[in-house]
Structures are given as C-alpha cells and as structure tokens.
Amino acid sequence: MHYEGNIIRPPSEANSILLQVTVGCSRNKCTFCGTYRGERFKIKKDPVILEDIAFAARYCRRQRRVFLCDGDALIIPQKRLMFILQEIRRQLPWVTRVGAYANAKSIGMKTREELQALRGEGLGILYMGLETGDDVTLERINKGATARRMIEMGRKVKAAGIKLSVTVILGIAGRDRSEIHAEATGKALTAMDPNYVGALSLMLIPGTPLYEEHAAGRFTLISPVEMLRELRVMLAHTDLGRGLFHANHASNYLPIKARLPKEKEATLALIDRALDGAVPLKPEWLRAL
C-alpha cells in the first residue's frame, strides 16, 4: 500500500482495508486537531489507488470492509469517487461495506441523488465530526459550519440510505460553556438522529491553536469529573430513534456503550455511580488518542 503522512481511521474500522485515496484533510483548520498540521491536502492519482486496490485483492481477502482514508474522502469529485467504488466492487467482490470521513462541506457538495448513487456502489457509512452543538464553541474551534448546517447534512446522509456515525468531544467548550455545550450537543444529536454516536474526551495536542490558548490561559481544560458531568448532561438530552451511543474511546475516563433508547436510563445511573465515586475512572496514563 502507498501510504503518505498520518493515516487515521475510526475505531470501528480497525479491521478494515485502509485504502488511502486522499492525503490530509480538505479543511484542516479546526483549532483542536493536530493530525494534518503542515500537510497539504491532495487527492491521490488514480493509478496509485488502483495499484493499492489490486494489492488488497491479492493480500486482504479476509477483510470484508474498506475504509477510504484520509480526513475527508467524500470531497473527491463524484465521477472519480464512483470510479473508485466501482473498482472496489469489481476487484474486491467480498467487501460488504465501504466507509469514509465526511464534513458539512463535502456532504453539501453532493446532491441527494449523488449520495444515493454512492450508496448503490457500496458506500455504507460516513463518519462526521459534529464536536459540539453549541454555535459559539463551533466558531471558537473554527469548525466552519453551524450546528444547524451539520444537522441538515447529517439528515441528508441518512435520507440517502447511508449510515451516519457522529463524533462529539467532551471538554471542547472549556469550563465557561461546559453545560451549554453538553445540552446543545445532545439536542443536535437528537435532531440529527445518527446510527452511531462516538463521544471522545478532549486531549490537548502541542502545536495546535487550542493548546496555545490553554498555555496562555485563554482556555480551561476541565477536570475528569467535570467531563463526566458533561457526558451525563449530553446523554440526558440525547434521544435517538434507534442508535448506539459510545464513549469507549481510549481518551474517555469512563467507557460506556449504550443502545438507545433502551439502555439510556441504566447508563445515566452508571454515570451517577461514577460521579459518586462507586465506579473508578480510567487513570490519566491509560488515556490515548
């Protein structure tokens, strides 16, 4: 495989064929993210992508899913993306699902009919970073879209028959807007109604603007207990028709996995026990991105 730069993928794609079709992220301006700092975004050449698909056809016959790296593969023009998906179907006929990252911009560039066409060629899930439902915080972290816009784009994905996985970040609003962020995010998730929610806990990365804000005293990183309270408020305001709410990422202090709405109350009770000290939190040295 021809990999360039940092290769990232969602935890649920750990056993997938990682096919890099873009390098970096098409936006690359979020203040909390250091993954692609200094890396210029580009779409890889078709011959390189085809060579990697051929490699997978020979050596990855046990893997039934493909994840299109890197930060925003959906930004690829429709004709080229359809071609890539068609080649995956042709050369890797055993693959049952293709996934990719997406953002409000890249989803907005596709019509519903184009998304449906991508679904027909095997694109089964898109991963989108909401981060927060609070517009003030979204502007602070330079996300490039309002909560309303991201809700609209999330609904668009689901209307096209593609599964939607949404990431949110505990602690991203700092202390001054912690509860506002938690409640607004729960409400945004409810409005979007994704198939999956992944809640991560903020870890400050040296070299990022948010890290520098913290170092200068302009941003307060909340404590583990405060993050747990934030998680409780967020979950309490999240009502999914049928979905999974995960907070079992390596960055989280209390791993949870709840099937909503069925397990919501039991999960809130678990968080309450942790807040009361009856359930231990993950020590800092065990956390990771």
Whole-prediction pTM:
0.95
- Each residue of 37-84: pLDDT tens digit? 888 899 999 999 999 999 999 999 999 999 999 888 999 999 999 999
CATH number for the domain formed by residue range(s) 11-286? 3.20.20.70
Following DSSP, what letter does each residue of 144-192 receive, concatenated? SS-HHHHHHHHHHHHHTT-EEEEEEEETTTTTTTHHHHHHHHHHHHHHH
Domain ranges of the chain: 11-286
Evaluate if residue 6 carries a pLDDT over 90: no
Q: Report the C-alpha gap between 20 and 153 in whole angstroms.
A: 24
Cα–Cα distance list, 32 to 41, 113, 138, 182, 219 (Å): 18, 34, 11, 17, 11
Q: Which DSSP symbol is given to 11?
A: G
Dihedral angle sign, alpha carbons of residues 179, 25, 22, 147: positive
pLDDT for position 281? 84
Among the ranges given (97-101, 131-135, 222-226), the one the predictor scored with the smallest mean pLDDT: 222-226
- Each residue of 247-268: pLDDT tens digit? 877 778 888 999 999 999 999 9
- Each residue of 180-196: pLDDT tens digit? 999 999 999 999 999 99
Length of the chain counted residue by residue: 289
For 212-227, what is the mean pLDDT? 95
pLDDT for position 247? 86
